[in-house]
């Protein structure tokens, strides 16, 4: 029971076990391959599907990072490859109607396998296509920038709003640290911010368990915490692109996805800090402004949510209080890797920030410390206090 806690990252594929939480968990991912130089294993992974015709999606940045190598490896191995490279321009690729439509319009009949050569957006787009076409997909990770590689949700933009569509898990995840450590440092910081967000996400999960009776799996909590400990313990090394630190980061991001896959919900990864991030992103898109990377926003939101846990201390059950980090601790971790800490650093104005604290709990139907603050009639006072600290004390 709970034997998954003793598995290495690459041993977790197809995990199936009776959990101490009382449920039987299954991870429906066939291949997990992480480490140095592992991109050369891609042809063998594709052969495992008995595939002949491959459709690979990348953008102009990720094609240079990994797509070009992946395409050559597959063609040299005898596969028929259609490679579509989307133009992300100067900014990040937005998974809205134009990009998703272009992806589908380029899909050819008799395609056996889909490959996403990229990170967050490309992975989300291809997993959405996989779910709709029933064609299995593989992701070749290009950056340790987010935790969605092993999740079955696909956040896409529809009509200017971010909607998380139910998608599918990949057949295989291939993470070559030689590739990922070369990603822009901003993307590495984004991955670090997404991982740090689990500190408050887990506290929110415990809070909901105590306040609403929501199901909570201790095995999944432990799985995420073990990965968190490795990442927080190697923050200084990550700032120097250390191989082992990059591996710890991608493992933590993937393990969080594994935990989500095991229980079928995103609780191990996403709490109030993600609600603030999504609120900011949707508002930026509505204003036709560049939305900062997801993990950067999550990182900034994490010490803010930690502060709300501290302010609400007398109302927080002890189990959740023990899990919640202090604001100072979360901010210190972000500063260690050079990640932004203030919402002002990414262009969030005072009014948007204040309103996000008041309305962030409405982003999704999930109980969090924001809901508790609203229930206790303290949210406006908290919003005024935190907004004043960021915007009026300089």
- Domain ranges for the chain, please list them: 3-180, 196-216+267-391
Q: Identify the pLDDT of residue 91.
A: 66
CATH says 3-180 is which class?
A: alpha beta
Give CA–CA dist 232/330, Å, rounded: 10
Instruction: Examine the pLDDT at 1 and tell me if it is beyond 60.
Output: no
Higher-confidence residue of 174 and 1: namely 174
β-partners of residue 394 are: none
The CA dihedral of 226, 258, 36, 125, to the nearest 10 degrees, is -140
Instruction: Examine the pLDDT at 325 and tell me if it is beyond 90.
Output: yes
pLDDT digits (tens, 9 = 90+) for 253-295: 888 888 888 888 889 999 999 999 999 988 998 888 877 888 9
Q: Does domain 196-216+267-391 have CATH number 3.30.450.20?
A: no
Provide the 10 A C-beta neighbour count for residue 127: 25
Higher-confidence residue of 280 and 161: namely 280
pLDDT digits (tens, 9 = 90+) for 48-85: 999 999 999 999 999 999 999 999 999 999 999 999 99
SS3 150: coil
**Among candidate residues 220, 206, 223, the one with its CA nearest the CA of residue 368:** 206
**Among candidate residues 303, 350, 358, 297, the one with its CA nearest the CA of residue 330:** 303
Query: Phi/psi of residue 164, each to 5°?
Result: -95, 105
Cβ neighbours of residue 201 closer than 8 Å, sequence gap 6 or more: 267, 268, 269, 270, 271, 273, 274
Structural Rg of the chain based on CA atoms: 20
Instruction: Examine the pLDDT at 160 and tell me if it is beyond 80.
Output: no
Q: Identify the pLDDT of residue 264.
A: 81
Query: Phi/psi of residue 372, each to 5°?
Result: -60, -45
**Predicted confidence band of residue 104 (pLDDT cuts 50, 70, 90):** very high
Q: What is the pTM of this model?
A: 0.88
Cβ neighbours of residue 120 closer than 8 Å, sequence gap 6 or more: 145, 146, 148, 293, 294
pLDDT digits (tens, 9 = 90+) for 225-250: 998 999 999 999 999 988 889 889 98
Instruction: Examine the pLDDT at 27 and tell me if it is beyond 60.
Output: yes
What angle is formed at CA 245 by the lines to CA 241 and CA 251, rounded to 5 degrees? 125
């Amino acid at each position: 029971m709970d034997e998954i806690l003793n598995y290495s990252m690459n041993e977790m594929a197809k995990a199936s076990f009776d959990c101490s939480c009382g449920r039987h968990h299954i991870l429906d991912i066939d291949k997990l391959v992480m480490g140095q130089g592992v991109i050369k294993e891609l042809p063998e992974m594709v052969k495992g599907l008995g595939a002949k015709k491959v459709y690979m999606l990348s953008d102009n940045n990720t094609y240079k990072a990994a797509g070009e190598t992946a395409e050559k490896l597959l063609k040299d191995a005898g596969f028929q490859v259609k490679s579509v490279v989307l133009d992300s321009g100067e900014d990040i690729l937005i998974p809205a109607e134009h990009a998703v439509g272009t992806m589908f319009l380029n899909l050819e009949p008799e395609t056996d396998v889909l490959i996403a050569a990229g990170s967050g957006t490309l992975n989300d787009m291809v997993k959405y296509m996989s779910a709709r076409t029933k064609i299995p997909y593989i992701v070749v990770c290009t950056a340790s920038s987010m935790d969605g590689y092993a999740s079955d949700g696909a956040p896409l933009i529809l009509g200017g709003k971010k909607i998380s569509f139910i998608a599918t898990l990949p057949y295989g995840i291939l993470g070559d640290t030689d590739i990922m450590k070369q990603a822009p440092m901003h993307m590495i910081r984004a991955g670090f911010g997404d991982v740090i967000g689990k500190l408050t996400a887990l506290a929110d999960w415990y809070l909901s368990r105590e306040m609403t009776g929501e199901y909570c799996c201790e095995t999944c909590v432990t799985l995420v915490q073990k990965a968190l400990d490795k990442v927080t313990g190697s923050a200084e090394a990550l700032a120097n692109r250390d191989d082992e630190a990059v591996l710890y980061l991608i493992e933590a991001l993937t393990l969080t996805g594994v935990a989500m896959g095991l229980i079928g919900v995103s609780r191990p990864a996403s709490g109030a800090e993600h609600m603030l991030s999504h609120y900011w992103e949707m508002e930026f898109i509505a204003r036709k402004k560049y939305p900062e990377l997801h993990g950067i926003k999550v990182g900034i939101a994490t010490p803010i949510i930690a502060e709300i846990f501290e302010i609400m201390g007398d109302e927080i059950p002890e189990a959740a209080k023990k899990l919640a980090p202090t604001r100072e601790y979360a901010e210190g971790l972000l500063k260690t890797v050079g990640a932004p800490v203030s919402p002002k650093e990414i262009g969030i104005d005072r009014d948007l920030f204040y309103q996000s604290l008041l309305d962030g709990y409405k982003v999704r139907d999930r109980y969090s410390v924001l809901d508790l603050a609203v229930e206790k009639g303290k949210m406006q006072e908290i919003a005024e206090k935190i907004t004043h600290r960021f915007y009026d004390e300089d």
